[in-house]
A and B are shown apart, each in its own frame.
Chain A
Amino acid sequence: MLKYIIKRILLLIPILLGVSAIIFALKTVTPGDPARQILGNDATQEQIDAKREELGLNDPVVVQYVRYIGGVVRGDFGDSYRTGEPVLKEILPRLKTSGVITLGAVAIGAFLGIILGILSALKKYTWVDSLVLVISMFFQSVPEFVVGLVLIMVLAVNLHLLPTNGIENPLGYIMPMLCIGLPSIASYTRITRSSMLEVLGEDYIRTARAKGQTEHNITYHHALRNAMIPVAQSIGTSLGNSIGGGMVVETVFGVPGVGKYIVDSITQRNYPSILGGALIIAIVLVVINLLVDIAFVLIDPRLKTTIISGGASRKKSKPAAA
């Protein structure tokens, strides 16, 4: 087990080097001079040259990259062009905000998805099943920002229940959570349904029926507990995925999270912030995935073989819903 954990942690290194290389490559091919952006248009050529020298922009790309990686290892993700503050210091409080929203969203999505999934598995091939399918498919088809707009229209503008913007009021968290949570219902429903159907066909369910167990007990005691394993795993992976995926929703609601920070940095062409933000999100994502995998091996030793032999390639990609 320890060997596996160490191996997984070592696997993080090439992934993070790769991520930073990708974004660093994007940064170097971008037109425009960062020095000019920092100093504004009235800066003289000498000032710009001095700034370029100070930022190390005159060095070869490889040297810049190695210097950056060296900084990252020491916890220095560069300074924002706009504020001059260290990127890490700017991002950490935002990471907390995004984390809260992600947790809420995953809770909402998983709760509704699991209920719908159980329902359609128990009533398979009936109209209930089809209805659940259509409902979950509907939510999958609505982009997060459209859900956001509808929620703003109904809950904020017409009913005045929630604030439209920002999170100064804790109620402001509700709409972003719903926005990310509702479209994710579909995948939980689908996984719960197929997993439930699979478990309900197992021999031990037949045994339970044979010994005269009530249908209620069979469903909730015998089947559900076993059927929840793949669902819980997908909850784990989507925790990591949605932390950085909240860019659109955070922008719509003006939530000061990591996503909005990166969108703002993109529009301002603030490269250290984009690079640092993407790298920190990648670290968070990979670490969460690692923790989820370890947690599952501890919870269910049977998974040891599938997870450990599958290694990093086992990570399931998020189906559809972007």
Chain B
Amino acid sequence: MSKMHTPAMEKIEKKNAKRKKPLNPTPAYESWKRFRRNPTATIGLIVVAALILVAIFAPLIAPYDFQTQDYAAMMQKPSAQHLFGTDQFGRDIFSRCIYGARYSLIIALFCTIAAFFSGGLLGIIAGYFGGKVDTVIMRIMDIFQAIPMIMMAMCIVAVLGNGIPQLVAAIMFASMPTMARNNRAAILRVRGNDYIESSEAIGCNQFQLILKHMIPNAVGVMIIYFVGFLAVSIMMMSSMSYIGVGLAAPTPEWGLILNDGKSYLTSAPYMMLFPALMIMITCFAFNLMGDGLRDAFDPKLK
């Protein structure tokens, strides 16, 4: 077919060329647009990006080493030398908080990935295959769910000992039922759609079906859970470290820094103020971002 060049057509083409967005926006682009339009979500994203930068460049930002003890400068109030003050061992709290971003974010990321690869995968399998597989997996998850999440995590740490891999394992096991349930629901929502049935009818194999049709359609919801769980795992890990059933002492994890300052709550409240703020800001940012993602990927939910 030859191209027609009426003036009207040219006008439209010109107009289209001027438009920044593609004419047929992909679903991902549409989501991104919705996300950007949401001010709180954008703030969340910016804060998270800033925290990631802080975590990456921690050695450059932090003025002191996070575990060097300086007995000449113990329990100092916040000042120009020590922005957040120093603790009872003379360690610079600012540096510890900065390195804390590194530890907390990485551990949270590992926890979340581990949780997705255990509970999440179980949920996807249960949701996809249904029937007996579903019943068996979900009944087992019911058993796990009868133990409160944080209690389960603490029991596992009690058995395995304090440390980063142990903590990741504990949070992974503890979150398994929730993760499985969420991911199962995400897959089930996709599974019920007509296009899945029609792909089955035209002879798609299971591999194609899962990879090409189900995952891309469920991935939005899964990303929401992923971001939400980052906040949950930071809160769990700091709570556990705070009451002494989490990470081991010199690690500059925010909960542990709070635990160090515990005895000085009345005399030196600044020791607890800043790490507490870091936890709050981080989780708040993740939650804002997660909520924005929820609206962006699934406007119907709002």
Contacts and interface: CB of A to CB of B under 8 A. Distances in A.
Given A278-B147, A322-B235, A247 B154 contact: yes
B280 A141 contact: yes
B244 to A, nearest CB: 7
A205 B155 CA distance: 50
A144 B150 CA distance: 12
Contacts of B266: 157
Nearest to B180: A317
B291 interface: yes
B142 interface: yes
A153 B269 contact: yes
Nearest to B269: A153
B243 interface: yes
Interface string A221-263: 0000000000000000000010111011001100000010011
B12 interface: no
Interface string B228-242: 100110011011101
Contacts of A319: 228
Contacts of A19: 143, 146-147
Contacts of A266: 154-155, 157-158, 245
A66 interface: no
A86 to B, nearest CB: 21
Contacts, number: 151
A97 interface: no
A282 B242 CA distance: 25
Interface stretch (B52-60, B64-72, B189-197, B281-289): B281-289
Interface in B258-299: 258, 265-266, 269, 272, 276, 279-280, 283-284, 286-288, 291
A183 to B, nearest CB: 9
Interface of A: 14-16, 18-19, 22-23, 26-27, 29-30, 130, 133-134, 137-138, 140-146, 149-150, 152-153, 157, 241, 243-245, 247-248, 251-252, 259, 262-263, 266-267, 269, 274, 278, 281-282, 285-286, 312-313, 315, 317-322
A14 to B, nearest CB: 7
Given A19-B147, A322-B150, 19 more contacts: A18-B143, A141-B231, A141-B235, A149-B258, A153-B269, A244-B151, A245-B148, A247-B151, A251-B243, A263-B154, A266-B158, A281-B148, A312-B139, A315-B142, A317-B145, A320-B231, A320-B287, A321-B235, A322-B235
Most buried by B among A153, A320, A322: A322
A318 B177 CA distance: 10
Contact of A137 (B157, B158, B235, B288): B288
A114 B201 CA distance: 47
Contacts of A320: 228, 231-232, 287
B117 interface: no
Contact of B140 (A18, A142, A143): A18
**Is chain B's binding surface mostly helix, strand, loop or mixed?**
helix
Contacts of B286: 141
**Is chain A's binding surface mostly helix, strand, loop or mixed?**
helix
Nearest to A19: B146
Interface string B132-175: 00000011101111111111001111110000000000000000
Contacts of A144: 239
A245 B146 CA distance: 12
A149 B276 contact: yes
B117 to A, nearest CB: 18
Contacts of B138: 313
A317 B182 contact: yes
Contacts of B244: 267
B181 interface: yes
Given A130-B40, A318-B178, A322-B149, A248 B242 contact: yes
Nearest to A134: B40
A312 B141 CA distance: 11
